[in-house]
Chain A
Amino acid sequence: MSDTIKTLALADIDIDGALRETAERLPTRGQLLRRGAQATAVGVLATGLLPGTAQARAKHADNDVAILNFALTLEYLQAAFYTQAERVGALRGALAKQARVVGSHERAHVKAFQETLGRRAAKSPSFNFRGTTDSPDAFRATAVAFEDLAVGAYKEQLPKIHSDRYLAAAVAIHSVEARHAAWIRYLAGIVPAEHAFDASLPDDETVQIVNATHFVTLHAPQTSTQHAPEFTG
């Protein structure tokens, strides 16, 4: 991952994050393995165990909802960031265009996840971007960090999604996040594709990085930017 992300992760950790709440509902690797074993057993014992099958299906569905809500919360964060950058209006030229187009994508991702999840969709936390939307330099560095983060975070979740329908949606979004990452890196003058293989980012690290930014606030954010009110989703 980029140096920018490492820099952000160095800040002290805010344990208040809404992202952490959604992350805690994610299945751990151990749980997934156990569920995998159960599912196999159900398959082997075949038709006699229908209630067991239904139970396994319900668990898969719960896991999928947790994963989608985790992704939704990341999308809330990104959508709010670009929306605020656009409102503040400190960006010009190619950077302004990037914020406008990518912002529209992130808002579309939020909408797609909300529609898929229906009543089970997580609510948007409040955000305070602490001045990072106020100048082109701060915006650029933060956007690089966010987009690389999203690529790694999605990568971690994709193979854990059980439903093919959800997977198709997440895969299509995942590669767009990678395009966003390459785009902003290009505008920042750094190599858009730094490595032959993108690493996945474990949930706890994703949460840690986001919390280190202090962008996610539990309560209504205070106004710290000079130009515009905070976006609250």
Chain B
Amino acid sequence: MSTDGDRGDVLPRAALIKRVAISLGGLSAAGAAAAGLASASRSSASSLSSRDREVLEFALRFEQLQTAFYSQALRDGKLTGQAKQFAKIVGQQEQAHLRYLERALGHTSKAPAFRFGDATDDNTKFIATAVKIEDTGVAAYNGQAENMSRTLLGSIDRVISVEARHAAWARSLAGILPAPVPDDVPITASKALKTIKPYLG
């Protein structure tokens, strides 16, 4: 259940060093406390800590991937029955997550080109890929829980559990255990990005 060793993974070393330097500088400034309190009381995108911003950007990448996958599956029009219903409902929800993250970040985003190969060709391949990207999404979000502020967690956890519902739903359709273990194993950002690399064009 521990994620020891996973922390800080979302930040590349250079960014981490810079951030530590900034926060050290902030501590020595007399007005830092007042400024910090003021920014904490605002909820606009500009008040996001750099760490929270990086977590959000990372999450955005996942939501872009998922949104693109489901919209392509629907565009290709080869799904039927429950798989089609799944793509439709989950696709809309991923789209809503994407907009939510964009609002939090204060900017719109342009998704990179994704390649899903033959994953949208039939129900079976589609569901197998859905299981993979939804399970990875849950593990990736869980892996960031300690990296984000509790304030951000209070917002993002509304998305995390829906991702877990998607994963269980996809697994139900695939005929495998929807909840294979008592606690979901978190993964680091780098491992998560490695998992989705094949889909990046």
- Who on chain B is nearest to A150 by CB? B161
Q: Contacts of A158 on B, CB cut-off 8 Å?
A: 145, 153-154, 157
Give the complex CA separation of A196 and B93 in angstroms: 4
Measured in the bound complex, the distance between the Cα atoms of B92 and A131 in whole Å is: 39
Q: For window 174-198 of chain A, which residues contact chain B by CB distance below 8 Å?
A: 174-183, 186, 191-193, 195-198
Report whether B165 and A159 are in contact in the complex, using a CB–CB cutoff of 8 Å. Answer: no
Report whether B161 and A178 are in contact in the complex, using a CB–CB cutoff of 8 Å: yes
Measured between C-beta atoms, what is the minimum distance from B92 to chain A in Å? 7
**Chain A CB within 10 Å — which of B1, B97, B141 has the most?**
B1
Asked if A53 is an interface residue, CB under 8 A from chain B, the answer is no
B20 at the interface (CB under 8 A from A): no
Interface membership of B177, Cβ < 8 A: yes
Residue of B nearest to A43 (CB): B33
- Indicate if the CB atoms of A186 and B172 lie closer than 8 Å: yes
Q: Are A112 and B1 in contact (CB under 8 A)?
A: yes
**Chain B residues near A155 (CB-CB < 8 A):** 157-158, 161
Q: How far is the CA of A161 from the CA of B157 in the complex (A)?
A: 13
A210 in contact (CB, < 8 A):
no
Contacts across chains A and B counted by CB atoms under 8 Å: 150
Q: Interface range on chain B: under 10, 10 to 19, 20 to 34, or 35 or more?
A: 35 or more
Q: Does A138 contact B (CB under 8 A)?
A: no
Q: Give chain B nearest CB distance to A169 CB in angstroms.
A: 4
Interface of B is mostly: helix
On whether the beta carbons of B92 and A151 are closer than 8 Å, the reply is no
Interface of A is mostly: helix
B182→A104 contact, CB < 8 A? yes
Q: Which of A176, A177, A197 contacts B162 (CB 8 A)?
A: A197
Q: CB-defined interface of A119-137 with B at 8 Å, one 1/0 digit per residue?
A: 0000000000000000000
Q: With A44-B33, A193-B89 given, is the CB distance from A175 to B169 under 8 Å?
A: no
For chain B, residues 1 to 49, give those with C-beta under 8 angstroms from any C-beta of chain A: 1-3, 7, 32-33, 36-37
**A195-B162 in contact given A40-B37, A171-B145, A183-B179 (Cβ < 8 Å):** yes
Closest residue of chain A to B186 (Cβ to Cβ) is A172
Interface contact B168-A172, CB-CB below 8 Å:
no
Are the C-beta atoms of A171 and B164 separated by less than 8 Å?
Answer: no
Most chain B C-beta atoms within 10 Å of own C-beta, residue among A160, A183, A196: A196
**Binary per-residue interface labels of chain B (162-177) against chain A in the complex, 1 for a CB within 8 Å, 0 otherwise:** 1111111100100001
| B186 surroundings in chain A (CB, below 8 A) | 168, 171-172
- For B184, list chain A residues within 8 Å (CB): 172, 175-176, 179
In the complex, are the beta carbons of A175 and B1 less than 8 A apart? no
Q: Which residue of A lies closest to B7 (CB)?
A: A164
Contact A186 to B169, CB < 8 A, known contacts A105-B182, A169-B183 = yes
Distance (whole angstroms) from the CB of A100 to the closest CB of chain B: 11
Question: Distance (Å) between the CB of A156 and the closest chain B CB?
Answer: 9
A197 near B159 with CB under 8 A, answer yes
Find chain A residues with CB under 8 A from B141 CB. Answer: 175
Given contacts A105-B179, A109-B182, A186-B168, are A193 and B90 in contact (CB under 8 A)? yes
Give 5 closest A-B pairs by Cβ, nearest first.
A178-B164, A159-B154, A182-B168, A172-B183, A196-B96
Which residues from chain A sit less than 8 Å from chain B, CB to CB? 40, 43-44, 101-102, 104-105, 108-109, 112, 151, 154-155, 158-161, 164-165, 167-169, 171-183, 186, 191-193, 195-200
User: What are 23 contact pairs spanning A and B, CB under 8 A?
Assistant: A40-B33, A101-B179, A105-B181, A108-B182, A108-B183, A159-B150, A168-B1, A169-B183, A171-B160, A172-B1, A173-B183, A175-B160, A175-B164, A176-B184, A182-B164, A183-B172, A186-B178, A191-B89, A192-B165, A193-B90, A193-B162, A193-B165, A198-B165
Which residues of B are interface residues toward A (Cβ below 8 A)? 1-3, 7, 32-33, 36-37, 89-90, 92-93, 96-97, 100, 138, 141-142, 145-146, 150-151, 153-154, 157-169, 172, 177-179, 181-186
